[in-house]
């Protein structure tokens, strides 16, 4: 397919739709969307796409909004996705301040602005009657953040098993590409003991003390030093106990480790499990629940680089920024673990993600949308 002819039209389209994007960004930021609670945002996106003229849009069981374009009979589909959930647990609308230059709102850059760009990218395809020969899936997906455990993208790859050729997610700044991913295992660990009165029953096992011992052991671990790998761990949340004069009966923690390497993940799994086991006794029960499992990449890296190179070409066609490459843990973990080339790219510039001070450079959405559309056109070639 000859695509050069589209480029001039894209700039005009972006200019004509800039105010619309700002308006939709404000509307979407006002809809809270913790992981697993993306219902309202999903409805908004579905209705928006239908209004824009999209046929066949649906919301699946995982709360993904899926718009298949030209996918019938294709097993070489390209996916463009942006996650709708945010890290914030709030169920009330978030504050939103637009000073003309920056837009402040928790979740604005990660990842609400990306969702807006994805919608306007899809609208460009609809308005120009572009039918990608091998099919594109535009997906506003759920559950990328926190304990979402990539539920949305897992569902997508299950529903379209064997049919997706490449995957691109908008979830970054446009000068950053994640072309590697880190896997992770996450646990909820609960320590249970008989407990008792702090004076009368002194000497019995104390769940808080046992948990503290485990945490101390975890922080004695050295991570593997295999070349080209990075492995980390964290105990993120602890709680426990009943009162100051009760031997604690129950204590718990949320902990995780991450690595971009399978062997290192396996090494950490053994070390963590040995620590969990080491405190088990007749007096101490330890319940371990795996609450997250993000797989490592298992893909032909040359194919990922090929995909990244095409995207970099489009970014360079719009902005002067030098593109930097990263390893991160995102929706790409699922395709990369299945051997499907995937990258995480950006459609704007935002700072302070995962904090309440997060902001977006407002006019960065203009080149961002142009990059998104150009990338869409580029990747439907061949």
Least distance (Å) from Zn ion to the CB of residue 354?
A: 9
Question: If binding is defined by CB under 5 A, does position 85 make contact with Zn ion?
Answer: no
Residues comprising the chain, all counted: 382
What is the DSSP secondary structure assignment for residue 48, as one 8-state letter?
H
CB 294 within 8 A of CB 358: no
Question: If binding is defined by CB under 5 A, does position 111 make contact with Zn ion?
Answer: yes
Question: If binding is defined by CB under 5 A, does position 38 make contact with Zn ion?
Answer: no
Binding residues for Zn ion, rule CB under 5 A, total 3
Question: If binding is defined by CB under 5 A, does position 331 make contact with Zn ion?
Answer: no
- Residue whose entry in the numeric block shows the structure tokens 């948990």: 211
Give the Å distances, CA to CA, from 88 to 29, 68, 106, 144, 340. 12, 29, 8, 12, 30
Least distance (Å) from Zn ion to the CB of residue 3?
A: 29
Pairing state between β 285-294 and 196-197: unpaired
Tokens of 269: 């799994």
- Among 171, 261, 297, 331, which residue interacts with Zn ion (rule: CB under 5 A)? 171
Tokens of 327: 């390893």
The Cβ of residue 226 has, within 10 Å, a number of other Cβ atoms equal to 13
Question: If binding is defined by CB under 5 A, does position 314 make contact with Zn ion?
Answer: no
- Among 110, 256, 297, 370, which residue interacts with Zn ion (rule: CB under 5 A)? 110
CB 93 within 8 A of CB 40: no
Question: If binding is defined by CB under 5 A, does position 86 make contact with Zn ion?
Answer: no
Residues 6+ apart with CB under 8 A from 116: 21, 24, 25, 28, 365
Least distance (Å) from Zn ion to the CB of residue 206?
A: 40
Task: Tell me whether residue 17 or residue 149 sits nearer to Zn ion (CB atom).
Answer: 149
Task: Tell me whether residue 171 or residue 297 sits nearer to Zn ion (CB atom).
Answer: 171
Question: If binding is defined by CB under 5 A, does position 260 make contact with Zn ion?
Answer: no
Least distance (Å) from Zn ion to the CB of residue 83?
A: 6
Least distance (Å) from Zn ion to the CB of residue 86?
A: 8
Give the residues lining the site for Zn ion (CB under 5 A). 110-111, 171
């Amino acid at each position: 397919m000859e695509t050069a002819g589209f480029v001039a039209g894209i700039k005009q389209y972006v200019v004509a739709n800039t105010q619309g994007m700002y308006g939709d960004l404000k509307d979407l930021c006002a809809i809270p969307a913790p992981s697993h609670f993306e219902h309202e945002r999903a409805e908004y996106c579905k209705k928006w796409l239908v209004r824009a003229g999209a046929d066949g849009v649906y919301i699946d069981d995982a709360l993904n909004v899926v718009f298949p374009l030209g996918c019938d009979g294709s097993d070489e589909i390209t996916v463009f996705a942006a996650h709708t959930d945010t890290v914030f647990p709030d169920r009330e609308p978030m504050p939103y301040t637009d000073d003309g230059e920056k837009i402040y709102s928790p979740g604005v850059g990660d990842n609400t602005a990306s969702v807006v760009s994805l919608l306007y990218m899809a609208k460009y395809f609809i308005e120009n009657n572009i039918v990608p020969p091998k099919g594109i899936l535009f997906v506003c997906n759920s559950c990328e953040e926190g304990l979402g455990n990539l539920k949305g993208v897992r569902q997508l790859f299950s529903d379209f098993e064997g049919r997706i050729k490449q995957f691109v997610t908008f979830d970054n700044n446009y000068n950053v590409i994640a072309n590697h991913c880190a896997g992770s295992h996450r646990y909820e660990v609960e320590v249970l003991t008989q407990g008792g009165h702090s004076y009368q029953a002194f000497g019995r096992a104390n769940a808080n003390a046992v948990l503290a011992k485990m945490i101390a052991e975890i922080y004695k671990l050295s991570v593997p030093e295999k070349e080209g790998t990075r492995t980390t761990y964290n105990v993120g949340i602890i709680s426990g106990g009943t009162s100051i004069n009760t031997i604690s009966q129950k204590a718990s923690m949320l902990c995780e480790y991450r690595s971009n390497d399978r062997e290192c993940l396996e090494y950490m799994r053994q070390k963590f499990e040995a620590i969990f086991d080491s405190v088990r006794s007749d007096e101490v029960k330890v319940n371990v629940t795996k609450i997250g499992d993000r797989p490592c990449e298992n893909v032909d890296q040359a194919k990922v680089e090929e995909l990244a190179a095409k995207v970099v070409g489009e970014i360079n066609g719009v902005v002067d920024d030098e593109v930097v490459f990263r390893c991160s843990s995102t929706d790409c973990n699922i395709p990369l673990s299945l051997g499907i080339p995937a990258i995480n790219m950006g459609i704007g510039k935002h700072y302070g993600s995962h904090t309440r001070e997060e902001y977006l450079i407002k006019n960065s959405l203009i080149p961002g949308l142009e990059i998104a559309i150009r990338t869409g056109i580029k990747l439907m070639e061949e």
